[in-house]
């Protein structure tokens, strides 16, 4: 678990519940400040935002983007392969919509690593840093800042918005580590598919008038002028609480933030295209957050750990998944947003080649598939390959470090930078800062 004082773990929601009158003003970096900060690295950004769709549990590459129709039945499974828009490139049968627009994004088939359990695999892919010690499958660990937290730290967001969102929960290793709770994800736990959906505790209660709210904010600001002992210490839990208060006030007082959360402004036609289910509406909400200037959004989509009955489970799940991801890519393109918005789909690893006795596939970190769209990524590109039976990446073999470095570089963040902990200890952002060259455009 993250080594943070208990008080620093206080949620934004709990801070807000302590009393809206205690919220302080102040702001995150503006969009112009963020761009200026990124420019100092000497890296030209290709993207302003990233929507990372995390398929927790480890999605199968065989039944999605890397089928092996010529392998023995115990390896190829029950699903036939279908043609994509790219000559000679095949997907599994339920990937119809994505197969039809394969020219709009890149598919990476050659990332592999050596962390075969959920906790370690999640950490490696979400941070670009292998865990320092062995961790269990169910572990929530943070030995290094996550992609979203680092993006928040480096870029910020305009309009009083948090720079890093996670829907509906934080991933196992999605935390900020030494960057501090300010750069942890703002979690939107509620299901946007519900008619009653709202982002809780970021709306001024009706019983609190605007004047009373302003008065309480002014009182809080006066109190904050008092000098706090060790005020500059990043590990001070009281400062972490203050950041939550500030962010809460910004969300309440920002018309842009309130508009982004109001998914009911979308037409029925658009909502239907995304799918009237949790994943579909979270993808739509993510698009709205990008429009509001949020640079990093994670959709944590659980339930991809198919040790048993994989084919029945995927017959039900994959058609809606396929439709939602394809709709998100197409919608961003139609709105002129895809060029500056990354859409990435992956999990911590792939699945075993041989179907087990329970009709499922187990953990397998030697092969996986990653969809990478937008942010200047060339469309119609397939990077690397696995062997004829899908056991391992064998062509243009890549690491999690390469994957993470690609995201950072596209956002204008130097993956070779050195960050410093509150104790002054240096930490390299990524040990190998080489991006995936085929994705850089």
Using 50, 70 and 90 to split pLDDT, how confident is the model at 141?
A: confident
Does the pLDDT of residue 31 top 70, yes or no? no
Residue 53, CB half-sphere, CA atoms under 13 Å: how many? 28
Q: Provide the H-helix boundaries in 140-254.
A: 147-155, 210-224, 237-253
List the structure tokens of 175.
């935390």
**Most confident range, picked from 2-6, 199-203, 318-322:** 318-322
Q: What is the spatial distance between Cα 203 and Cα 13, in angstroms, rounded to a whole number?
A: 12
- Averaged pLDDT for residues 417-439: 95
Greater model confidence, 133 or 181: 181
3-state secondary structure of 79: coil
For the chain, percent of residues with pLDDT exceeding 70: 78
pLDDT tens per residue across span 33-84: 445 544 555 789 999 999 999 999 999 999 999 999 999 999 999 999 999 9
Peptide bond into 168 cis (omega under 30): yes
Most confident of 12-21, 42-51, 128-137, 371-380: 371-380
Q: What pLDDT, on a 0 to 100 scale, did the predictor assign at position 248?
A: 65
Rounded distance, CA 383 to CA 372, Å?
10
Three-class secondary structure assignment of 57-68:
CCCCCCCCCCCC
The Cα 364–Cα 438 span in angstroms is 25
Residue with the larger pLDDT of the pair 344 and 135: 344
**Range 276-287 average pLDDT:** 98
Per DSSP, the three-state class of 207 is coil
Please check whether residue 279 is in contact with residue 299, taking contact to mean a CB–CB distance below 8 angstroms: yes
pTM, entire model: 0.85
* Residue 214's pLDDT band (cuts 50, 70, 90): low
- The answer to whether residue 201 scores a pLDDT higher than 60 is no
The predicted pLDDT at position 160 comes to 81
Q: Indicate if the pLDDT at residue 229 is higher than 90.
A: no
Asked if residue 242 has pLDDT above 90, the reply is no
**Residue 232 confidence (pLDDT) above 50:** no
Q: Which of 11-25, 38-52, 84-98 has the highest mean pLDDT?
A: 84-98
Does the pLDDT of residue 228 top 70, yes or no?
no
On the question of pLDDT at 1 being above 50, the answer is: no
CB 152 within 8 A of CB 146: no
- Asked if CATH classification 3.40.720 holds for the domain at 46-180+229-234+272-439, the reply, yes or no, is yes
User: What confidence score (pLDDT) does residue 131 get?
Assistant: 86
pLDDT tens digits along 322-331: 999 999 999 9
Is the pLDDT at 384 greater than 50, yes or no?
yes
Contact 326, 97 (CB under 8 A): yes
Highest mean pLDDT among 39-48, 128-137, 344-353: 344-353
Q: How confident is the model at residue 192 (pLDDT cuts 50, 70, 90)?
A: very high
Mean pLDDT of the chain: 85
Average pLDDT, integer, range 316-342: 98
Question: Where exactly are the structural domains of the chain?
Answer: 46-180+229-234+272-439
Distance (Å, whole) CA 51 – CA 373: 10
Write the DSSP string, 121-163.
HHHHHHHSS--SS---TT----SS--HHHHHHHHH--STT--S
Q: What pLDDT sits at residue 19? A: 34
């Amino acid at each position: 678990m993250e080594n943070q004082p208990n008080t620093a773990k206080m949620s934004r929601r709990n801070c807000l519940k302590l009393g809206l009158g205690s919220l302080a003003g102040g702001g995150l970096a503006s969009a112009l400040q963020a761009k200026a900060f990124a420019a100092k690295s000497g890296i030209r950004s290709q993207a302003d935002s990233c929507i990372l769709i995390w398929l927790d549990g480890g999605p199968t590459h065989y039944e999605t983007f890397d089928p092996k129709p010529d392998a023995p039945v115990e390896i190829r499974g029950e699903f036939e392969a279908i043609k994509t828009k790219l000559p000679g490139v095949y997907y599994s049968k339920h990937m119809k919509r994505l197969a039809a627009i394969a020219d709009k994004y890149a598919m990476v088939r050659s990332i592999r690593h050596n962390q075969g359990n959920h906790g370690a695999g999640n950490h490696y892919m979400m941070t670009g840093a292998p865990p320092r010690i062995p961790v269990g499958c169910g572990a929530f660990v943070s030995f290094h800042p996550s992609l979203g937290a680092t993006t928040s730290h480096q870029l910020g967001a305009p309009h009083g918005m948090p720079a890093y969102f996670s829907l509906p929960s934080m991933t196992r290793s999605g935390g900020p580590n030494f960057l501090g709770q300010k750069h942890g994800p703002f979690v939107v736990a509620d299901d946007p598919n519900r008619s009653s959906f709202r982002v809780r505790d970021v709306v001024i209660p009706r019983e609190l008038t605007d004047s009373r709210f302003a008065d309480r904010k002014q009182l809080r600001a006066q109190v904050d002028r008092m000098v706090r002992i060790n005020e500059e210490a990043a590990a001070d839990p009281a400062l972490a609480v203050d950041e939550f208060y500030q962010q809460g006030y910004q969300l309440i007082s920002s018309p842009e933030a309130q508009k982004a959360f109001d998914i009911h402004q979308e037409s029925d036609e658009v909502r239907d295209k995304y799918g009237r289910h949790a994943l579909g509406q979270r993808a739509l909400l993510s698009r709205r957050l990008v429009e509001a200037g949020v640079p990093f959004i994670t959709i944590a989509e659980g339930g991809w750990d198919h040790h048993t009955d994989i084919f029945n489970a995927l017959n039900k799940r994959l058609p809606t998944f396929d439709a939602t991801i394809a709709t998100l890519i197409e919608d961003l393109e139609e709105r002129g947003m895809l060029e500056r918005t990354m859409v990435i789909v992956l999990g911590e690893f792939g699945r075993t080649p041989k179907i087990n006795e329970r009709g499922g596939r187990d953990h397998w970190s030697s092969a996986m598939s990653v969809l990478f769209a937008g942010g200047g990524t060339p469309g119609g590109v397939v990077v690397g390959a696995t062997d004829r039976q899908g056991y391992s990446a064998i062509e243009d073999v890549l690491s999690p470090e390469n994957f993470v470095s690609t995201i950072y570089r596209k956002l204008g963040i130097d993956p070779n930078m050195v960050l410093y902990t509150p104790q002054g200890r240096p930490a390299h952002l990524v040990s190998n800062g080489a991006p995936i060259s085929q994705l850089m455009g």
